[in-house]
Every structure is written in C-alpha cells, then in structure tokens.
Amino acid sequence: MKTKLFKNAAVVFTILTLAFAVSCSDDDDEMKEDTSLYTRLGGIDAISAVTDQFLANVAADSKINARFEATVANSSRLQLLRNNLIDQICAGSGGPCQYKGKTMAAAHAGMGITQDEFNALVADLVAALEKFSVPAQEKNDLLAILGPMQSDIVGK
C-alpha cells in the first residue's frame, strides 16, 4: 500500500516537474518576442548615432545629395529632419517616441523621387547600420518597417 502511494507521488512529482519545465520554456519564448526592435537596436542613443551617420552618408552621396541642399544649408531645418527621422525610427520600432512630422505621402509629394534615388537612400541607411555593426536581424527588421513607405515616396 505504502509503495503504491509512493509510486503515485513520484508520478505526480514527475508530471509537475515536466509541466513546470514546459511553462518555463514558454516564458523564454515570450520574453524573446517581447524584446522590441527599439531595445534590440540599442535604444535612443544608438538610433540617434545611426541617424547622424545616415544623414552624413546622404550628404556625401552624389546620387541624392542635391535633394537635400536646401535642408543642409539651413541648420534648424536640418535639425528638424534629424529629429523627425529619430522619432520615426524610435516610434516605428516600438520605442517611447511620437513621430510628429508629416505623413510620408505629404512630405514627399511633388518631388518626383525615382526608384534609383529611393534605393540610394536605403543603401546610405544600410551603410550607417553596418558602420555601427547592427546585426542582420535588426537591420532587416528596420528595413521591413521602412520598405512599405516606398509606395508613398517614389513617383509622387
């Protein structure tokens, strides 16, 4: 009788241990999913540093820098663009910022931006991300957020 009771207790203990292990591994998965792109990118300081490098790359890129001539010549206008880009990346990646700029359609309306120009700007962003050794996963996650904006920017 005692042996049977002991065996039953052992079975219950094994089941509980397994259930606990499974629930723990579930928690691990959820924690990974909960880590926002904003956090994985390194937060606001990392996003600001990448944005500054991105703007420097654009300013040096003869394929598109003429587009930003008037912006670069006016420091408060350049500052506003920088802040809008930082807020846009921060908010889009799940960070605690609010993008207060124009919609992408309104900001680029009438510019007639070509696909080649769009690709050049994305390449300047990728170069900035690579300069700061942002891993492929985070790089692709950020590009996946910006990619859909293409239809509001190119050919308008």
Nearest alpha-carbon partner for 36 in 145, 123, 112: 145
Q: In this structure, are residues 156 and 110 in contact, taking their beta carbons and an 8 Å threshold?
A: yes
Q: In this structure, are residues 35 and 88 in contact, taking their beta carbons and an 8 Å threshold?
A: no
Q: Determine, following the binding rule CB under 6 A, whether residue 54 of this chain makes contact with ligand HEM.
A: no
CB of 148 to ligand HEM, least distance (A): 9
Distances (CA, A) of 122 to 65, 71, 80, 141, 148: 13, 19, 20, 13, 12
CB of 67 to ligand HEM, least distance (A): 4
Nearest alpha-carbon partner for 128 in 64, 71, 65, 48: 48
- Give the nearer residue to ligand HEM in terms of CB position, either 6 or 96: 96
User: Between 84 and 123, how does the x/- string for binding to ligand HEM read (CB under 6 A)?
Assistant: xx--x------------xx----xx----x---xx--x--
Q: Determine, following the binding rule CB under 6 A, whether residue 43 of this chain makes contact with ligand HEM.
A: no
- Give the nearer residue to ligand HEM in terms of CB position, either 75 or 133: 75
CB of 109 to ligand HEM, least distance (A): 10
Identified binder of ligand HEM from the candidate list 52, 71, 139, 156, rule CB under 6 A = 71
Helix pair angle (43-59, 75-92), 10° resolution: 130
Q: Is 17 exposed, middle or buried (0-12, 13-18, 19+ CB in 10 A)?
A: exposed
Q: Which residues are annotated as a binding site for heme?
A: 108
Q: Which residues are annotated as a binding site?
A: 108
Q: Which residues bind ligand HEM (CB under 6 A)?
A: 64, 67-68, 71, 77, 81, 84-85, 88, 101-102, 107-108, 113, 117-118, 121, 146, 149, 153
